Amino acid sequence: MAALDVDGTQTAVVTGGGNGLGADICRALHEAGFRVVVSDVDLTAAEGLAAELDSTGQTAVAVRIDVSRPDDFQSALEMIVERWGKAHVLVNNAARTEVKPLLDIDPADFNSILATNAGGCFAGSQVFGRHFKQNGYGRIINLASIAGQNGGTATGAHYAASKGAILTLTKVFARDLAAFGVTTNAIAPGPHDTPMVRSVLTDDKLPAALAGIPVGHLGDPKFVAKLIVLMAGPESGFVNGACFDVNGGIYMR
**Could you tell me the pLDDT band of residue 7, with boundaries at 50, 70 and 90?**
low
pLDDT at 3 over 80: no
- The pLDDT mean for the chain works out to 94
What span, in angstroms and rounded, lies between the C-alpha atoms of 32 and 103? 45
pLDDT at 111 over 80: yes
Active-site residue set: 159
Average pLDDT over residues 108-120: 96
What span, in angstroms and rounded, lies between the C-alpha atoms of 208 and 212? 7
* pLDDT at site 174: 98
With contact defined as beta carbons under 8 Å apart, do 30 and 54 qualify? Answer: yes
Of residues 163 and 1, more confidence is placed in: 163
Q: Domain coordinates of the chain in residue numbers?
A: 11-245
Of residues 98 and 71, more confidence is placed in: 71
* pLDDT at site 1: 41
What span, in angstroms and rounded, lies between the C-alpha atoms of 14 and 26? 7
Give pLDDT tens digits for 142-153: 999 999 999 987
The contacts of residue 158 (CB under 8 Å, 6+ apart) are 98, 100, 105, 109, 110, 113, 114
Burial of 88 (0-12, 13-18, 19+ CB in 10 A): buried
For residue 192, give the H/E element and its range.
none
Distances, alpha carbon 35 to alpha carbons 119, 205, 219, in Å = 26, 39, 27
The H-assigned helical ranges of 67-155 are: 70-84, 107-135, 147-150
pLDDT at 68 over 60: yes
* pLDDT at site 195: 80
- In the chain the first and final C-alpha atoms are separated, in Å, by 35
- E strand intervals along the chain: 11-14, 35-40, 60-64, 89-92, 138-143, 182-189, 243-246
* pLDDT at site 220: 96
pLDDT at 39 over 60: yes
pLDDT at 46 over 90: yes
C-alpha neighbours within 13 Å on the C-beta side of residue 198: 7
For residue 47, give the H/E element and its range.
helix 43-53
Range 11-245 has CATH code 3.40.50.720 = yes
pLDDT at 226 over 60: yes
pLDDT at 51 over 90: yes
The contacts of residue 101 (CB under 8 Å, 6+ apart) are none
Average pLDDT over residues 212-235: 96
**Could you tell me the pLDDT band of residue 8, with boundaries at 50, 70 and 90?**
confident
Burial of 70 (0-12, 13-18, 19+ CB in 10 A): middle
pLDDT at 164 over 60: yes
What span, in angstroms and rounded, lies between the C-alpha atoms of 247 and 188? 8
21 three-class SS: helix
Distances, alpha carbon 208 to alpha carbons 12, 115, 244, in Å = 37, 31, 25
User: With left for phi above 0 and alpha for psi between -120 and 50, is residue 251 left, alpha or beta?
Assistant: beta
pLDDT at 239 over 50: yes
* pLDDT at site 109: 96
**Could you tell me the pLDDT band of residue 2, with boundaries at 50, 70 and 90?**
very low
What span, in angstroms and rounded, lies between the C-alpha atoms of 208 and 80? 45
